[in-house]
Amino acid sequence: MNKNSKVLALKYRPQTFDDLIGQNYVAETIVNSIKSNKIPNAFLFTGIRGIGKTTTARIVAKSLNCLNGIENLCKDNSCENCNAISNSSHIDVLEMDAASKTGVDDVRDLIEFSRYGPTSSRYKIFIIDEVHMLSKQAFNALLKTLEEPPEYLKFIFATTEIKKIPITVVSRCQRFDLSRIKSSELFDFIKKIKDKEGGRTTDEALKLIVKISEGSVRDALSLLDRALLSLEKDKEFDLNAAQKIFGYFDKSQLIEIFRLILQGEEKKVIEIYRKIYDQGVEPKIFINDFLELIYYFKNINLLTVESTNFSLNDQEFLKIKQISDQVDEQVLILFWQFTIRTLDELEIVSNQNLSIEMFLMRLMYLKSSKPNNEKTKKENSFKSIEKKNISSDLNTDTINQIKNITQEKKINPETKNEIKAEDKNGINSFDQLLKICSEKKEVRLKYELEKNVNLVSFDKNRIEISFNDNLDKDFVKDLSLKLFEWTNERWIITLSKTKGEISIKEKENNEKLKFLNKAKESELYKAVLNKFSDANLIDIKPKKNRD
């Protein structure tokens, strides 16, 4: 153990399988394989950051090379091999960071080095961290050695991006998926370390650290380190201090905002949010916590305090349960959809704080109370919501769930009839499709249709096209979705080998070329050439009529 290290994540780094938390099945499988002498050529550890991939790789290396053997693996008094592996100084255990050595030449050097047997231990071991960073050529160079290495050679890979590793490499390894650490286990672990360090920290603050770390031991230890360093002597690190330091806020404030939204108290909602924002809470963190709260309101009757993974305390849990009895479930579903859409808005709005305030005000225009003794009405309204796509723009048809200004305006009967007539007629030709793209302001789709698409045939709910190399790869999917949205019918778009008609842009260019050629035969153009021999006609614009 690194006694001299001041960083908790290194000081309390596991040195044996017994020290690992939350990875019991991995440890048991590896130990059994070593005991039965059925050691794979390569180990592959994958999982999120900070759950022990590289640490487990080192423990495996110790287990293979410990002078005392797997049965009496070093724990307190490390042997020469175990001590050298812990310090990354063992001559036969080479650790390589694939993020900095990604090329095929680095792997060739590795293979060349593997030809020589171990000098002071049983196995020569290569630990490659972040192995997904290796280039395609580097992986290919490694394949043969990986499949049939010498008996003394073992590979141990660690990665957070398993999908980026070629399947040919994965199939040659024994794969272990390291899981996130459970909240209760992580809480007990950091509480023990806090006691060893002599820190004074409340359980509520530790629970917040566990929540922020999202199952990562390293993140939890780093946050605990930060918390202990921020303490003054004879002062306890409590939940309020943790929320200020880590940029989180009291969930009771969020629950109060939710309650006031349901009551339509716009001024109070904005005041509380601005206090939260002044604490340094990022808008994205606020939105994600709001999503979590909506989930709890929707499913509170199916949950216990323990199942919320320390997100809620007893008092907050009971408060949510009381409020949820007064909220219609359909409204909570609509809240969820609005909140998801606001996450997308944050990516395009420069002042995210204003976007959050508008989001909170928009939520107030949703009905918030269950109708008393109107069970039948509730069931009918729920069925009508199921028939509609909640993720699309919400309008007056969503059983008056939204009461914004545009919905309160009366629709002109003539305009309404025109809309219905348009929906009934549908899209019956390629020209109509271009026209509706213009009306709906789908500029990108119109551009692709005009420039990169050659029409082969256009029938009822079926379009057959050919295309050039510049067509966007998502064009067919996007067009299908828009056609379904506009006509409420499924469309089949097929790609044909037949050339089809020339594109709209090509037609326009051909017409323009004919027009230019005809103009060049005119007497006026010839007269201009007599005066200016190097003149060239490049464009013609029709003359506007003047009244």
Q: Which two tokens stand for residue 131?
A: 């192995």
pLDDT of 43 over the 90 cut = yes
- Supply the mean pLDDT for the chain: 80
Q: Name the CATH superfamily, with its identifier, for domain 8-177.
A: P-loop containing nucleotide triphosphate hydrolases (3.40.50.300)
| pLDDT tens-digit readout, 247-304 | 776 678 888 888 888 888 889 999 988 888 887 788 888 888 888 888 888 888 887 7
- Give the max Cα distance, the chain: 105
pLDDT of 369 over the 90 cut = no
Looking at residue 166, what is its pLDDT?
93
Identify the weakest region by mean pLDDT among 126-130, 409-413, 427-431. 409-413
pLDDT of 19 over the 60 cut = yes
Q: What is the 3-state secondary structure (H, E, C) of 404-456?
A: CHHHHCCCCHHHHHHHHHHHHHCCCCHHHHHHHHHHCCCHHHHHHHHHCEEEE
Give me the mean pLDDT over the 336-363 stretch: 87
Q: How far apart are CA 457 and CA 464, in angstroms?
A: 5
The DSSP annotation for 258-290 comes to HHHHHHT-HHHHHHHHHHHHHTT--HHHHHHHH
Question: What confidence tier does 383 reach under pLDDT thresholds 50, 70, 90?
Answer: very low
Q: Which two tokens stand for residue 516?
A: 């230019």
* Highest mean pLDDT out of 114-128, 372-386, 416-430: 114-128
Looking at residue 263, what is its pLDDT?
85
Quickly list H helices, 36-79: 53-65
Question: What confidence tier does 544 reach under pLDDT thresholds 50, 70, 90?
Answer: low
Give me the mean pLDDT over the 349-365 stretch: 86
The CATH number that domain 421-495 falls under is 3.30.300
> In percent, how much of the chain has pLDDT > 90?
17
Looking at residue 189, what is its pLDDT?
93
Quick check: 42 and 146 in contact, CB under 8 A? yes
Identify the weakest region by mean pLDDT among 204-208, 390-394, 428-432. 390-394
| pLDDT tens-digit readout, 151-163 | 999 999 999 999 9
Give me the mean pLDDT over the 18-22 stretch: 89
Looking at residue 59, what is its pLDDT?
92
The CATH number that domain 183-246 falls under is 1.10.8.60
pLDDT of 1 over the 70 cut = no
Centre a 10 Å sphere on the Cβ of residue 221 and count the other Cβ atoms it contains: 24
| pLDDT tens-digit readout, 461-491 | 888 888 877 788 788 888 888 888 888 888 8
- Break the chain into its structural domains and give their ranges: 8-177, 183-246, 257-387, 421-495
The DSSP annotation for 363-392 comes to HTTB--SPPTT-HHHHHHHHHHHHHS-TTS
Q: 257-387: which CATH number, 1.20.140.10, 3.30.559.10, 1.20.272.10, 3.50.50.60?
A: 1.20.272.10
Q: How far apart are CA 343 and CA 332, in angstroms?
A: 17
Looking at residue 542, what is its pLDDT?
64
Supply φ then ψ for residue 114, to 5 degrees: -75, -10
pLDDT of 42 over the 90 cut = yes
Q: Which two tokens stand for residue 438?
A: 């213009």
Q: What is the pairing mode between strands 42-46 and 153-159?
A: parallel
